[in-house]
Amino acid sequence: MKTRTFAIGDIHGCFDSFHKLVEHKIRLKKNEKLILLGDYIDRGAQSKAVIDYIMELQNRGFGITPLTGNHESMLLDAFDNNIFLAQWIINGGTETLKSFGINSINEFNQTYIDFFRSLKFYHSFENFLFVHAGFNDRADNPFEDKYQMIWECQEKYMHPAFIGKTIIHGHRPVTVTICKEIIRANRQVINIDTGCVYTDKVGYGHLSAIEVYTKELFSV
């Protein structure tokens, strides 16, 4: 019997949903795997709690593989060069600063910056590929285009590297209904970003996890 393996889409500071999904819905065990698809921060009110929980799970020995998203990338760009600060702020950075109890991006504890820098751009496991957004299908080596991995989604891929692969991603919010339709259609590409932070939009406002072998979707 295969070890249960999950992926969770964009969290965006929705700690309560994240905690409930992991602890009470999927009930993650230490011998199981969980791939997180990036965008843990910004827009929502509890970005720090989300990051602290991810690091806590790692420290407790859970099999967590956190990937980077465009929002973690924007934060690091702004941290490294103030010319990028405005872009991060208008995309939800203000809420992240508030959650960390700081007024300036330069006040981040180095532990968190190191965490953001450690995040992988994609994860390959058996016949599955996990990424925040997508891959450059036209590139000689699709796994070198980091921009594409955090910014651009595709619904299908023709590159030989993706033959027989199931690609699981987030980045572009869909409703839970559409997500389930994609899964039922047995598509090559599965989008599991169900817009957790968008509680004001009909059909959105949910955080979802997929168990990759059974394709069962768990949502809160």
How much is the mean pLDDT over the chain? 98
Q: What is the DSSP letter of 32?
A: S
User: Would you state the structure tokens that stand for residue 165, as one six-digit string?
Assistant: 């692969």
Q: Is it the case that residue 62 has pLDDT exceeding 90?
A: yes
Q: Which residues contact 12 (CB under 8 A, 6 or more apart)?
A: 39, 40, 41, 42, 43, 44, 47, 71, 92, 196, 197
pLDDT of residue 154: 95
- CA-to-CA separations, 103 to 29, 98, 115, 117, in angstroms, rounded: 37, 7, 20, 21
CATH code of the domain made up of 5-70+113-219: 3.60.21.10
Q: What is the rounded average pLDDT of the residues 105-124?
A: 98
Q: What percent of the chain has pLDDT over 90?
A: 100
Q: Is it the case that residue 194 has pLDDT exceeding 90?
A: yes
Q: Is it the case that residue 1 has pLDDT exceeding 90?
A: no
Report how far Cα 195 is from the mean position of its chain's Cα atoms: 11
Q: Is it the case that residue 153 has pLDDT exceeding 90?
A: yes
| Nearest-angstrom CA–CA distance, 47 and 67 | 16
pLDDT of residue 36: 99
* Boundaries of every domain in the chain: 5-70+113-219
Is 133:151 a contact under the CB 8 Å cutoff? Answer: yes
CA neighbor of 213 nearest in space, from 89, 128, 97: 128
Q: Which residues contact 158 (CB under 8 A, 6 or more apart)?
A: 137
Q: How confident is the model at residue 109 (pLDDT cuts 50, 70, 90)?
A: very high
Q: What percent of the chain has pLDDT over 70?
A: 100
pLDDT of residue 110: 98
The 10s digit of each residue's pLDDT in 9-57 is: 999 999 999 999 999 999 999 999 999 999 999 999 999 999 999 999 9
